[in-house]
A and B are shown apart, each in its own frame.
Chain A
Amino acid sequence: MDLALQVVVTGLAAGGVYGIVAIGHSLVFQLTGTVYLALGDLIGLGVFTTLLVAAGTGPITQTNVSSSRYLLALCVGVLVCVVVGAGGYALVVQPFLERGSTVGWIGATLALAFAIHAVIESVFPRSAYVFPDPIPFRRVGEAGFLTLAGASFSVRALYVAAVAFALAGLVAWAVNRTRTGRGLQAITADREGALVVGVPVAWLVPLAFGLAGAVAAVAAVVGAPSAPVSGQTGTLLGVKGLAAALAVRFGPPHYAFAAGALLGLLEAAVATVHLSGFELGPAYSQVLPLAAVLVLLAWRPPAEALEDVE
């Protein structure tokens, strides 16, 4: 029981972030038919920009950052994400989409991803950085842990999960209820038709690219203080979010989010759970979920994935 609650809470915290990233991937795929291979590094850029503004590049502690500075840093991080994401799409992806060159945008998106990664690594070269936590969770309960019916779980993890769910709800609401969201839906359904009825496709799509990165970055920043971050943190988030999105065939936001949450739960379960002495262990927790997605794709290929064999 103790273990189960811990697994669920930790799993949902990680899975919530994966879910937001998966939503980003799904959205981008539905809008443009491309896979946003640079999303992970864009998230990393947002996280590290926030870190840079909040605390510089030196070894820092988790507490000596004021809330106002933290909020400012978060805003700057989000802004950078939107600008680089939108700009990246407009400069790097769109030209190849228009040319109809698949291998072109794949190469270009990867180039963007690795370029961003290189910039992050040159400013933050160390293997781990500690992220400031503006909310003093360690004062809650016992050093940040609450006990419920004999089982203890981390308050911070619960907070991250809650924020992720809230963000996902926000995105779903925005897509369904706002004009911008409906415009995006229109583009997804019929691009030419959307153009005809006056949806501003030209800047809406780049904006969506940028926002996908920004929302995911917010989720990542919220989760960042839970553990040291490195240059690879963002990229790995992008990969896992992509796996979740692939598992649901780049479906609607709530499916993508659910897949991400499941991925996180699976990871936590494989890492921790032991049944009558048998235990897979943490080594498999990174590997099994991704392998499961690949096997799923092989066994049940989505119809949209297959080539048109008319």
Chain B
Amino acid sequence: MPLAAGCGGNDSGSVRALTIVVNAPFSKTPYIGETIARGVELGAAVTGPIDTKGGTIRLHVKRLDNALSPRQAIANVRRAVADGAVAIVDEGTGADASWRIADKAQIPLCVTYQGGIGLVDVERRPYVFRIAPTDRGIAFRLAEYVIPKRLRVAILTDDSAYGDEGRAALAKSFGSNPEAVAISLRLPANTPDLSPQVLRARRSGATALLVWAGPATIANVLTAARTRRWQVPVYTPPSGADPLVRQQLADQPRWVDGLTFASGRMTAELGPHAWRSFESLFESRYGPDVIGVKTSAGLDVVQPPEYAMYSYDFVSVLGAAIGQAGRKDRAALLAALNEVTVRGANGDERGFNLHNHEGVVDDDVYFARFDDMTFAPVQDDPLSSTLPVIKQTRE
């Protein structure tokens, strides 16, 4: 099926417009949705018109809200297919059902947030890509980091897809050290009062909490624990860095202190320069992402555009692939996607191949700890201690 003819493609002279659809929870968790979408839009703007043999191609971005509902996410993918999108950038909700639709329509679907293990499978799901830290990598690194501290961990996950996938990943990574796990509990995602579960974790003899859940649940767990004066260390996956956690606990900054999260490395091995220029590029277009909480010195806290980087990088790869495949069919685009490599926003090389559709290296995960509403890499982990601190306040 021709790429830029008829459905969805807008013929005006030799300039054709192709649409990238962003399928994310804009209403329910706006930070995640906005970040991903902004990365795509920035990428489209920076990529600019793509010159191919058959003419110039412009990238347009369309946002569809999935409201964290798998059904809505699938409906959005169907709609994207019907509108003839060139690619879908997906937050991940419902992707384990919607990938088939994208696959059948030969539209590349790139997940830029959720890291579930089974989501990406080069053999069976040739059109699914991911540029985001994988759950397997994060879970592995979490186990590697936490177990040597000889803590007994209570694993708390919520019942969302994010939490479920995390649970599976943690079961694998902690599988060979069962004595490190005091108890494993499943939290209801919609309940604000989690004191019964936290109490149960405490009764089981846990000396640390590993909360793999959405940001609201993490904040609720912290609330439940700290109001009972339980100063247990809390470890989380990247969702701990979500501004919602700090927003919900804004009047109790001491509760956020010490919260440690794992995340994909933002700055490159070569140094932070590329990241810093991406950051200023992002902020020149959208302004700094002020999240509404202040440090103890009264400075506004700003969120670095980490997830914007992943969706931005995908658009860069896509642009390069379109440039190579031109106006040929979708199979050619897929082939091009499996070949091109670009320099990512933070300076790392990004690209896919026929054996690997994961854009972020598995164990490229670092740890950061919150102090006074901002985070900094921890010093007791080899990789993290080499990383620079990213400035999160603006005067």
Contacts and interface: CB of A to CB of B under 8 A. Distances in A.
B229 A143 contact: yes
Interface stretch (A15-23, A60-68, A106-114, A242-250): A60-68
Contacts of B196: 271-272, 281-282
Interface string B4-43: 0000000000000000000000011110000000000000
Interface string A142-177: 111100000010100000000000000000000000
B229 A128 contact: no
**Most central of A128, A230, A283 by chain B CB within 10 Å:** A128
A62 B250 contact: yes
Nearest to B226: A143
A143 B200 CA distance: 21
Interface in A278-310: 279, 281-283, 286
A128 B192 contact: yes
B68 A127 contact: yes
Residues of B contacting A: mostly: mixed
Contacts of A145: 227-229
A59 B27 contact: no
A130 B248 contact: yes
Contact of A127 (B29, B188, B226, B292): B29
Contacts of B29: 126-127
A58 B292 contact: yes
A228 B192 contact: yes
Contacts of A126: 27-30
Contact of A62 (B227, B243, B251): B251
B353 interface: no
A125 B193 contact: no
A138 interface: yes
A227 interface: yes
B292 A59 contact: yes
B29 to A, nearest CB: 7
Interface of A is mostly: loop
A152 B226 CA distance: 14
A272 B194 CA distance: 10
A32 B291 CA distance: 49
- Tell which of A125, A142, A282 has the most Cβ of chain B within 10 Å: A282
Given A58-B292, A125-B27, A144 B248 contact: no
Interface in A110-134: 125-128, 130
Given A63-B251, A125-B28, A127-B28, A272 B199 contact: yes
Nearest to A283: B188
Contacts of A279: 200
A130 B247 contact: yes
A265 to B, nearest CB: 15
Given A59-B247, A62-B251, A63-B251, A154 B216 contact: no
B312 to A, nearest CB: 24
Contacts of B195: 272
Nearest to B203: A274
B302 interface: no
Contacts of B27: 125-126
Contact of B216 (A10, A128, A143): A128
Contacts of A232: 190
A60 B199 CA distance: 28
A125 B72 CA distance: 15
B33 to A, nearest CB: 11
Contacts of B243: 59
Contacts of B226: 143
Interface in B162-208: 188, 190-193, 195-197, 199-200
Nearest to B25: A127
A121 B82 CA distance: 28
B244 interface: yes
B252 interface: yes
A25 B220 CA distance: 31
Contacts of A230: 190
A163 to B, nearest CB: 19
A61 B250 contact: yes
Contacts of A154: 227
Interface string B276-308: 000000000000000111000000000000000
Nearest to A121: B27
Nearest to B27: A125
A237 B142 CA distance: 40
Contacts of A128: 192, 216, 244, 248
Nearest to B252: A138
Nearest to B247: A59
Contact of A282 (B197, B229, B291): B197
Nearest to B26: A125
Interface of A: 10, 58-63, 125-128, 130, 138, 142-145, 152, 154, 226-228, 230, 232, 271-272, 279, 281-283, 286
Given A127-B29, A282-B188, 16 more contacts: A60-B247, A61-B251, A62-B251, A63-B250, A125-B27, A126-B27, A126-B29, A127-B190, A130-B248, A130-B250, A138-B252, A143-B226, A143-B227, A228-B220, A272-B199, A283-B188
27 contacts: A10-B193, A59-B247, A60-B247, A60-B250, A60-B292, A61-B247, A61-B250, A61-B251, A61-B293, A62-B250, A62-B251, A125-B30, A126-B27, A126-B29, A127-B28, A128-B244, A130-B248, A138-B251, A143-B227, A143-B252, A145-B228, A227-B193, A228-B192, A272-B199, A279-B200, A281-B196, A282-B191
